[in-house]
Structure 1
Amino acid sequence: MHLKIAMFALLMFISSSVQADWMRFRGPNGSGVSDEKQATPAEWSPQKNLKWKVALPGPGSSSPIIVGDQVFVTCWSGYGMNRNDLGDQKDLKRHLVCLDRKSGKILWDKTVGPVLPEDVYTGMFAEHGYASHTPTSDGKRVYAYFGKSGAVAFDLEGNQLWQTIVGDELDPRRWGSSSSPILYKDLLIVTATAESEAIVALNKETGKEVWRQESSGFNSTWGTPILVNHGDKRTDLVIGVPYEIWGLSPDTGKLRWYCEAMPTETYCSSVIAQNGVVYGIEGRGGGSIAVRANGKGDVTKSHVLWSGRDANRIETPVIYQDRIYFFSRGIANCIDAKTGERIFRGRLEQGDAVAADEREEPAGNRFGGRGGRGGGGFRGSDYSSPIVADGKVYYTSRSGETYVIKAGDKLEQISVNRLTNDNEDFSASPAVSDGDLFIRSDKHLYCVGAKDS
């Protein structure tokens, strides 16, 4: 009997440890929703609820992931650090950085060299740079995708296991790529749209290519695919592409179904799913859609549940308790997942967290130290995606304000918080684990949480 109790306790401990991990872009299956029970902070500042702040080896827009007691994030150095002094592409280095979760101490920093020529650090490419793909992990290894430098696997001690180049083409739009890798069974699935107009599956043990699905339809796609499980029957690999939503077999890459979607020539955000229904809200051209994901062939007439004219930007929406939340140009939006009807729409209050001089300063001037990134105005080009934890929706603007609203049928803003008044670019989505929030800028990684926890 004592052995059974001990085994049960061990299983519960293992379960809680796994549950606390946030091991890919936007956490569990890309949902952005934490299923933990721990309370998460609603307010913070440089003096309040900031556990640690660590300078990173270089800039980046990728999000942090949490694996046990380790935090992983990518960045770059050596080239393109400043629009006014680009340097030499041969000096470009991509970094995978491992930090101690409790202290923020950098445990190891591994670099990967460039495959030349690289995209030039200019225009829209300079809005996010050379480290925009969030890494992923299976709890034993961590996998990073570095565009033309390929997919790379490391063990948790920082030993490189393999590196595979999946494409070396230059993006015709000069926007680069940002889709993050995901794991399925023994496969690492890489969305290499800019590098080869393809989705590629690699054996996660060896890095060898298992399947490749190429299509010109992947051009101008920057979202990360999700897995939609239909019980024991099948799992669909779903991604939004210009004008359509596609469902593929994650085992073979073959197209199973597709539907007409938003009339947009680019698809920047990622789709989300709940109970076998896929939702998309996109920016350029606008539009929203809900489609059942278990179809075959063209399902436009048979599986689309509703469509609307909701407009998102670059960030991915989040669904929680049948409500879809998304943010655009300082406006919080919430629609009913079952009907697509609006629940609320309202402007976020900046509050005292934003310094008065910053309220009046043009957005394009906030990052003069790096050549004025975001000259088009940050309200229209926030990159971070919202997440949900402890019944609260968190959304970080590119200029560094994190808004906290209560999940519900009306807009109830709890707070707006800043971690710094310095010129930092917050383009990554937060990660959450054990009641702590991990928020990354182009200069630092921050851990926010109750200091006595």
Structure 2
Amino acid sequence: MVRTGTVRWRTYVGPMYSAPCVCDGTVYVAGRGLWALEAADGSVRWTNADVGWLSSPTVSGDTVHIADRGRFYALDAADGRVRWRKRMTWDSHTPPAVADGLVHHVDAGRYLRTFDAVTGRRRWRVRYRRKGMNDAGPVLADGTLYAVDDRGTVRAFDPATGSVRWQQSTFARWPVTPLVQDGTLYLGGGVSSDVYALDAATGAHRWTAWPDYAYSSFRTTPAFHGNTLYIAGTDYRLYALNATTGDTRWRVITDGPIHSSPVVADGTVYFGSEEGHVWAVRADNGRVRWRVETGGKVESPVVADGVVHVCSRDGYLYAIEATPTPERQ
């Protein structure tokens, strides 16, 4: 029998299509507008009804950055006041990457754009993809900016100038945001059934895996812990792969397709299914620790201070105790 996890609180914010962002005791989430909630109890600190819909926010210092319906915003994290906005041509489904006074952003257009974080002035833009659906956001790691296009080409950029350091093709199609960890870039195959590992410094292929010959789409960002790579698929399975070789270590079958990117904390992997469940499984063997039912498709979770924060299409943001039950430890 699968045990039920403990919901600390839930707050209705309207339909959600992205992950929350947790920073300094506050949960920022896009629902019907942009919301800032107290992480301790879910009470509302502020809302901005004019901002927020599809994309996750990114918080850097005292500023919230978010793309929304053809505009890009920088807001005061304390009260939601708009500091600057930029009109964009296309919507975005991904959070921006922010560091060193720069905001890096992609949308459904052709360009990777970089703004000044304080003023919103454009620093540079690079055409790197075709127009169309794009769920692959930019990633910053070790002084390099990474982006992948809809045809599976990965590029490494200089964040300050936009110059291309390297590019490498894969057979991924319409992938989502990659993971960069310990000098390796890991990428799910998107609508294909492969998983890729590239050298983050050079782009050289390290391995390509087809986990257990899965007939699945891997439209999730992997998670990493203890030389194990965790990636979820539409075949109802979460896979644990050897991060060095790509070999499958174990897999766990859930109740529905998974478009929720997993996250690992304290020896537990957390993710959600399209059937409305939040899952917690042991990172070493995939044994289910608990499950929580929501009323809609579950988006990617965020773990902070022993709490799993996760959005559901039922319109509620859930805060769930991350601690596993003693019987399942």
Q: For 2:144, which of 215, 232, 236 is the aligned residue?
A: 236
2:73/2:82 contact within 8 Å kept: no
2:136 is aligned to: 223
**What is the one-letter code of the residue matched to 1:413?**
V
Match of residue 207 from structure 2: 306
1:219 CA displacement? 4.5
Give me the whole-angstrom Cα distance separating, in 2, the residues matched to 1:387 and 1:251.
29
Q: d(CA) in 2 for partners of 1:51 and 1:274?
A: 31
Residue 237 of structure 1: CA displacement?
Answer: 0.9
Counterpart Cα distance in 1 of 2:9 and 2:121: 39
Q: Aligned equivalents of 1:210 and 1:335: distance in 2?
A: 39
Where do residues 426-437 of structure 1 align in structure 2 (5 Å cutoff)? 426=298, 428-437=299-308
User: Equivalent residue for 2:43?
Assistant: 105
Match for 1:161 among 56, 69, 83? 83
More helix by share: 1
> 1:33-44 residue pairs with structure 2 within 5 A?
44=4
The equivalences for 1:268-347 within 5 A come to 269-295=176-202, 299=203, 303-310=204-211, 311-328=216-233, 329-347=235-253
Shift of 1:112: 2.4
Aligned residue pairs, count: 315
Deviations 1:220-264 (A, max 9, x none): 4311221221xxxxx211122213211111111222111121252
**Distance change >3 Å, CA 254–CA 139, structure 1 → 2:** same
Contact 2:4 2:290 in 1 (8 A): no
Query: Over aligned residues, Cα RMSD in angstroms?
Result: 2.3
5+ unaligned residues in a row in structure 2: which ranges? 324-329
**Comparing both structures, which one devotes a greater share of its residues to strand?**
2
Opposite residue 304 of structure 1, the aligned amino acid is H
- Are residue 137 (structure 1) and residue 52 (structure 2) matched? no
Confirm or deny that 1:213 pairs with 2:126: yes
- Do the aligned partners of residues 285 and 330 (structure 1) sit closer, same or farther apart at CA in structure 2, a change above 3 Å counting? closer
Task: Calculate the TM-score normalised by the size of structure 1.
Answer: 0.65
- Do 1:344 and 1:411's aligned partners in 2 also have CA atoms closer than 8 Å? yes
Q: Does 1:247 align with 2:156?
A: yes
1:448 equivalent to 2:323? Answer: no
Local SS of the residue matching 1:216? coil
Shift of 1:190: 1.0
The amino acid that maps onto 1:448 is I
Tell me the amino acid that sits aligned with residue 49 of structure 2. T
Shift of 1:61: 0.9
167, 171, 175: which one aligns with 1:262: 171
Give the percent of matched residue pairs that are identical in Structure 1 and Structure 2. 22
For the residue of structure 2 that corresponds to 1:294, the secondary structure is: coil
> How far apart, CA to CA, are the structure 2 residues paired with 1:152 and 1:140?
10
| Structure number with larger C-alpha Rg | 1
Q: Which of 303, 306, 310 lines up with 1:439 in the alignment?
A: 310
Deviation, 1:218, is 6.4
Runs of 4+, deviation exceeding 6 Å: none
Deviations, residues 66-97 of structure 1 (Å, cap 9, x unaligned): 12122110123xxxxxxxxxxxxxxxxxx111
1:50 matched to 2:24? The reply is: no
- Residue 411 of structure 1 pairs with residue 319 of structure 2: no
Change (3 A) 1:153 1:253: farther
Tell me by how many angstroms 1:398 deviates: 2.1
d(CA) in 1 for partners of 2:229, 2:110: 30
SS in 1 for 2:70: helix
Q: Please give the alpha-carbon distance, in whole angstroms, between the structure 1 residues aligned to 2:92 and 2:63.
A: 23
Q: Is the 8 A contact 2:252 2:287 kept in 1?
A: no
Could you tell me how far 1:338 is from its partner in structure 2?
0.5
1:388 aligned residue: 264
Q: Which amino acid counterpart does residue 25 of structure 2 have in structure 1? A: D
Paired amino acid for 2:99: Y
- Contact 1:61–1:132 (CA under 8 A) maintained in structure 2: yes
